[in-house]
Every structure is written in C-alpha cells, then in structure tokens.
Amino acid sequence: MIFYFLIPFLISAGLIPFLISLSKKNNMLDFSEGDNLKIHKNPTSFLGGLAIFSAIILSFHFFRLTELSFVYVVFAFLIIFLLGLWDDFKWKHISSRKPYLKFFFLVFCSLASALALYLAGIKFYLFPFLAPLYIFVLINAVNYQDGMDGQAGVLFLISIIGFCVLGIISGNNFIFSVCLIFSGAVVGFLLYNFPPAKIFMGDSGAYLLGLALALLAIFFSKDIISHLFIIGLPLFDGVYSNLRRLLSGKSIFWGDREHFYDKMINKGFSVKKTLFISALLQLFFVAVGILAYIYV
C-alpha cells in the first residue's frame, strides 16, 4: 500500500521544479502588486495545482483505476481543475474579478462534477441534490484557506488522514487507497509550499482539493457529524466567512483578510506559528470526527 502514497508523491515533487522554471520563463506568476489581498513579496508560480492534478490522475492510471466508474471521477476532477486554472489565468487580481460570472461557472461546474460523481456511483446518502452544494461549498472553503503559505495543504492533509482512518475502520480498501493517493500528491506539493512558499497551488489546486474532500464527504454522508468535523477548519471558517460577508452586504467572492489565520497573524503570531496552531485545531476536529464515526 505504500506505493499508493509514494508514486503520487514522487510525481508531484518531481514536477514542481519544472513547473517553477516554466512559470518563470513564461511569466506565469502571481504578482502581489495591485491587489491588497496578496501578501507575498516575490512573484510566485501558481501552477502547483497542475502538479497535484497530474500526480492524482497519473496515479489513478498507474494503479489501473480506469474502469468506467473511475472515468467519471476523473472527468469530475478535470472539470473543477480547469475551472480553477481558468480562474488563475483570468482573475489573478481582485480588481479584475466579475462575481456574477464567477458564481455562474462555479454553480455550473459544481453541478456537472456532481453528476459525474453520481454516474460513478458516488451518491449522497438519502439526499442526492446536496452533492452540488457540497462541491460548491468545499472548493470555495479550501480556496479561502489558500491565503497563507502551507495552510490549505496542511489542513487538507490532516482531513485526508481522518478519512484514511474511516477507510480502515470501515474496511474499505478503495477509499483508503484513494486517500493515500491524495495525501502523496499533496505532501509532494507541500515540500515547496511551506513558508516561504516557492510555488502556490492556485485556485486550480484549491478547487481540486475541495472536490476531493467533497467526494469523501459524499461517500461518508450517512455519518454527517463525523464527516463535517473531519473536513473541519476549512468548512467552519468558510461558512463563517460567507455569513459574515452576506450579513455585511458583500459578495462572498469579494475576499478579505478576516479569516482565522489572518486574525492570528494580526495578533502578532508568525506565519509558522499560525500554521502550527491551525494544524492543532484541525487535528482536534478530525479526532472528534473519528470518535463520532465510532460511537455516534
């Protein structure tokens, strides 16, 4: 089973130096100038999501997860990845965003990817219509966490460990294997994303990881308390952020610096200490989720 982690890890970690070089040569970089939401100082590649996507899809093929049902899963990932990649190239700065157009594409792609997962046999327990909502919420929730080096990747990895445990407890080797593939791809990326980051996952990577969480949450949707806590901080902070923005009359797509990690930094914590505290909090949520799965 170690190869289910090792193969995507090697693909992801091996691709990133090439993608960093490619980004510099072709000016495919995230610049902070002109956007007060961007706090990084140096132009940085935003193609980390491509490394994660490649590692996941190539690993699916390597381990012969290519039956018809999995073709639909790959199609769902492709839809969401391409949406995020388009977002990275088209709307890199807040001044160029068009919230209503972005909302339309997010809703359309969430519906399309939910349909693909449904055709793959991954259905929401009792209420299939909730699947698009889960995808919509979680791709945005992970994206919200991608405002600080390492934050989105670390929180996702801790959630995946929680879902790995559920796979073991439930005796589902398929879910366990998929979780190992996800975790290997993200760990390879994190080698270059810990502060100070050499590459960002971009919206393409954040949306991709959000869909991965949605897929696992839908699979374990019968155990609602468990899977919500295992998703943890990205979900809770994301829901709070959207409610805060709506109540203040702002679009949910008009970003700000009021997330949990922003508040920690504003209180004087360093990026690394903030990342450590966020990870501890996420570990607590995941532990609650696992216990809920066992005892509730």
- 150-163 pLDDT, tens digit per residue, is 999 999 999 999 99
Quick one: pLDDT at residue 241?
Answer: 87
Average pLDDT over residues 54-77: 87
- pTM, 2 dp: 0.93
The rounded distance, in Å, linking the Cα atoms of 187 and 205 is 13
How many CB atoms are located within 10 Å of the residue 40 CB? Answer: 16
53 within 8 A of 204, measured Cβ to Cβ: yes
How many residues belong to the chain?
Answer: 296
Q: Tokens 């919200």 identify what position?
A: 144
Query: Does the pLDDT at position 96 exceed 70?
Result: no
Higher pLDDT, 98 or 236: 236
**CB-side exposure of 237: number of CA atoms within 13 Å?**
28
Quick one: pLDDT at residue 35?
Answer: 53
Query: Does the pLDDT at position 52 exceed 60?
Result: yes
Query: Does the pLDDT at position 36 exceed 60?
Result: no
Q: What is the DSSP string of the chain?
A: -HHHHHHHHHHHHHHHHHHHHHHHHHT-EE--TT-TT---SS-EE--HHHHHHHHHHHHHHHTT--SHHHHHHHHHHHHHHHHHHHHHHH--SGGG--HHHHHHHHHHHHHHHHHHHHHTT---SS-TTHHHHHHHHHHHHHHHHTTSTTHHHHHHHHHHHHHHHHHHHHT-HHHHHHHHHHHHHHHHHHTTTSSSPSB--HHHHHHHHHHHHHHHHHHTTTSHHHHHHHH-HHHHHHHHHHHHHHHTT--TTS--S-SHHHHHHHTT--HHHHHHHHHHHHHHHHHHHHHHHHH-
Quick one: pLDDT at residue 92?
Answer: 60
Nearest partner of 95 among 143, 36, 142, judged by Cα: 36
Domain ranges (residues) in the chain: 2-222
Quick one: pLDDT at residue 133?
Answer: 95
